[in-house]
Chain A
Amino acid sequence: MPDWIKRFLPFISLILLCALIPLCEYFVLGQDPKFLTLGNLAAIARQTAVITIMAMGMTMVMVAGGIDLSVGSIVGLAGVVGALSMTHGSSVFTGILIFIAVGAACGLINGAAISSLRIPPFIVTLGAMGIYRGLGLYISDGNAIVGLPQGFGYFTEKSFFGFIPLPLLIVLAIALIVHFALGSTRLGRYCYAMGSNIEAARYAGILVSRYQITYYTILGALSGLAGAIESARTVTGQPNAGEGYELNVIAAVVIGGGSLSGGQGTVVGTIIGSLIMGVLANGGNLLQISPFIQKIVIGAVIVLAVTFDEFQRRTFESKEA
């Protein structure tokens, strides 16, 4: 299979979806297509922002050969702690920094545990997923934190030029930074090297533990920021926020060409992966497809993407021999 198909397959799929959905709206439902309206596209951007921000960090972690299942729980824990800080008088700005700091601390703990205990990241973060969720529920006693400052809500509602939502701008800024970091810094180069062959990276004199911790901390901080956006949407701190997000985040990376075995993945691919899932959900709703069916479709897309990745890897390995 030519390389360009692999590179552009996620993008091609996204374009096809965006063409197919309005066609179905028009011909099947007999309505004027709403999908391509500015309002609807802005809604998709808003809905996918939280997942995309986390997926940026997850791209780094997964390219480096790791995985983090606790990101959804971090959203919840950061939401509770950040919201509590605001109800106890901190400003919106400080509050948002606290969201991020809590997330970063969780990520740091994950990274440190993975590199020092030498236990697979899947297991460590599976445990962390329970611990952080439980911690959030314990602190909040299972109740939503209410009474946050009104200004916090503007955080997500604010738009530029009337239609560009603030979360979209945040996503773009983070995407640019992570794209630059992965492609043009030492941090990013080591990411690919570690994911490709962690032993070789260590033998080349890279202190892999330090970099592992860094990647998980960045992912944690981004999850905390995602928690702030999630929290601002309802102007509450929900201890159950972010439940199940880890799967969507990982799926975004994988659909975008990231490999579960590390060494592969790009920011652009991940954004497309996240958009494919967002568009599928949004289009499904417009076409009045049952949300249950939508889950089945998204599940199938994930399996297809991973199958494709495996297939690619096998053909590479046979060429190599």
Chain B
Amino acid sequence: MMDSLNTALEMRDISKSFSGNTVLDGVTLTAHAGEVLALVGENGAGKSTLMKILSGVHQPDSGEILIDGQKLNFSRPGDALSAGIAMIYQELSLAPHLTVAENIFLGREPLRVAPLGMINDNDLYQRSQSLLEDYGFRINAKTRLGRLSAADRQLVEITRAIVEAKRLIVMDEPTSSLTSHEVEELFRLIKDLKKRGLAIIYISHRLEELDDIADRMTILRDGKVVYSGKWGEISTDELIRHMAGRELKEIFPPRKASIGGVKLKVENLCRSPKFEKISFEVRAGEVVGLAGLAGAGRTELVEAIFGAQPLESGRVVLNGVEVDHFETNQSVKRGLSLLTEDRKRTGLCLNLPLAANITLANVRALVSGGVLRKRKETAAANELINKLGIRPPSPSKPVGRLSGGNQQKSLLGRWLFAKSDIFLLDEPTRGVDVAARSEIYRKINELAESGAAVLIVSSDLPELLGMADRILVMRRGHLVAELNAGQTTQEEILKYAAVEES
């Protein structure tokens, strides 16, 4: 049965590591013409890296890619396209100042006088319009792209990919900004593409929507294929277990914290559509986990609590005092800190010395008589460098030259130096190796033991289960569950985070 199908794409034994971190380990994947292959896995399982290798953005360390049985070398993004592979990315890659039609045919405009490069506008608009109508998308080809809604832009992106694709089309979370009606249109289109003999790789977290369209699936976990087979052969529960299923490692040290009074309390926080009606509290000595899929609104929520992103309505109470002015400097003054998700963009001043980065949130403490005391700064930085085990221990080295784990430790050091007692940690161990991870966990435990309140946002479920007392689950901007970490499982969390209630 399987062999009678036409194999469109084969990726064999693909391995890839970034600076010593193995991201993909011998991944093999097959996509057949006329079929939808669902590629599933948790955040960080390696799906995106695998697709970036397919599109030629990254080069694999080993392994090969075969299209229609022919071995190909993709060294540039253009190579995949000329092999008939098109990608639809989560982040839109269109030009907002051009029209819809110009975007669809960008780089392949129909020409009137070819040597002069004169674009045949009539042809361009007619062809685009008829494509859009064929697919049932109600979009005017002459509209400037920037004026379309996010959903319509996604549809334009899909149209463009279909025009480009000859053999295979990769869709990475294509429905994240679409309404249910538009999702139906998209699925109709996908079925149509299948009939035309295209292979489709469909990446999604939403298991219920895969039920509608997937023919086969490949499950990735920690850079390895853990299951490959027909869709529907295993139950949803089994699938979730495959996605999550690793053992709790011994990297979570025990904690002896006594739970005290409420330190952080939020009520009815809203910023639609990112998050709505969020209420919870975190007590002294408590570590609370916040789980959810990418795009569930967790980062937006914690950044809004911290005052770094806007908030529409709701109350935040820190140590019993209500916040009246949402601004980061107010938060820091009141002992609230945020370890950001993106340490390069919103965390570190990369070309400034390690010491300056550690002391940045509390420079005030180093100033006496209006003078910033450098000796005091170096001493303070050295103390934290030793405490957190930051390597190399040189306070004057630009922090950008440190490894990911040490950069993260220096940010944690910043908030320790700022004497925070309420910590919002957004993906505290992303891109951090196991050794540094365990040191960060130990530090978090020490914080809780000393009476601090800690909220950990993480996509790493074992981490939440290993560290948190309670776990809150968010789905599409709503708080959908509060679970006792001692009594729940990864399967249960994932079920709340991913599956729509019917």
Contacts and interface: CB of A to CB of B under 8 A. Distances in A.
Interface residues of B, number: 33
A185 B328 contact: no
A50 B345 CA distance: 38
A263 B353 CA distance: 12
B352 A205 contact: no
Interface in A195-236: 196-197, 199-207
A288 interface: no
A186 interface: yes
B370 A205 contact: no
B132 to A, nearest CB: 35
Contacts of B349: 192-193, 196-197, 200-201, 263
Nearest to B414: A204
B363 interface: yes
Contact of B361 (A199, A205, A264): A205
Contact of A193 (B328, B360, B401): B360
Interface string B336-357: 0010100001111111100010
B370 A185 contact: yes
A204 B363 CA distance: 10
Nearest to A197: B349
B401 A263 contact: no
Given A186-B364, A190-B363, A205 B332 contact: yes
Interface string B462-495: 0000000000000000000000000000000000
B118 interface: no
Contacts of B332: 204-205
A186 B368 CA distance: 10
A185 B370 CA distance: 6
A128 to B, nearest CB: 27
Contacts of A6: none
A314 interface: no
Contact of A186 (B306, B345, B363): B363
Contact of A184 (B352, B360, B372): B372
A199 B346 contact: yes
Interface in B448-466: none
Most buried by B among A184, A204, A206: A204
Nearest to A188: B372
A268 to B, nearest CB: 17
A321 to B, nearest CB: 9
B79 interface: no
A186 B372 contact: yes
Contacts of A263: 349, 351-352
A205 B328 contact: yes
B400 interface: yes
A186 B329 contact: no
A189 B356 contact: yes
Given A200-B347, A203-B338, A205-B331, A193 B352 contact: yes
A32 interface: no
B5 interface: no
User: 5 nearest interchain CB pairs?
Assistant: A205-B332, A196-B349, A320-B400, A204-B361, A207-B329
27 contacts: A184-B372, A185-B367, A185-B370, A185-B372, A186-B364, A189-B363, A189-B372, A190-B363, A193-B352, A193-B360, A196-B351, A197-B348, A197-B350, A200-B347, A200-B349, A201-B360, A202-B328, A203-B306, A203-B308, A203-B340, A204-B332, A205-B331, A206-B360, A207-B328, A263-B349, A316-B400, A320-B398
Interface of A: 184-186, 188-190, 192-193, 196-197, 199-207, 263-264, 316, 319-320
